[in-house]
Structure 1
Amino acid sequence: MKSLPLVTIISAFIFLSASCDRNRQEEQKSPSESQDLIEENSDLPRNTKYVFVILYVEQTEGYPPQVMTYTNLSGIEAVADLDEDRKYRIMDQCEAFYLNSVKAALHKGAVRDREIQVFDTYAQASRAREEIVKSHNN
């Protein structure tokens, strides 16, 4: 078995240390910085909509291979000035994200259908998304 050069090990350690330090710094925000983030979110335009995408996908799994159908949900996004072009762009991005995933590559994943759900408030979007998750877990 070949061992890794010491330079490679040291480089990986430095990279991981820097990454961990950056994550710790992001977690240790002061209360005033946290309040600034809340205020930034409250400055969203009045015509903001909250959306999530539903992908209906098929994947080949198991032995003998069987085609399985799944429902994938995106996260909820706040979108200003939502029109038909923007809706399709969001759906295209979600579909591309899935198709470029390791899971889709390993299981010959294919998107059979997709839809976008649009809501006036985040709470409405969250409740609707939760209902879909519950209905697919039963």
Structure 2
Amino acid sequence: MARPPAAQHAAARRRPDRRTQRSRTRAPRSGRARLSDDAPLRLEQDSRDTLQNLRNARIVLGDGMRSRVTLLSSRYHLARCAWFARHLGYDWELCAAEPRLELGPRMLLRLAGEAAYVCMSDIGARWAKLTGNRRMLSRLT
């Protein structure tokens, strides 16, 4: 089943540091090629982490938050973006910033770390729901 075209685009992008300056400046360009031209591209780059990034993007998008949002991020980081977006109430789709995943020892380590992070976040959220821990659950809204 075909989905309607996205009405808003937001790029999940943190401030670059010296180690990732080159890859982060190239990433949006390759991802933009796969985004539709009829929707605006809005960058939110004042955040320190993914959760803060998606929270701030809600402010940037305003009413656009109600329509489909395309999240642009590194391939290894997409699972975390999807997990947080689901918990924050986004109608989202994902777009990889790079054309393909470059597998190597460093990337495999990053993938393992991301998988562990997403699993632990999910277990923590389920535990918070089970125990009724509102303080923990409030971090996801």
Q: Return the index of the structure with the highest Cα Rg.
A: 1
What's the TM-score, normalizing by structure 1?
Answer: 0.24
What's the TM-score, normalizing by structure 2?
Answer: 0.23
Structure with the higher fraction of residues in strand conformation? 1
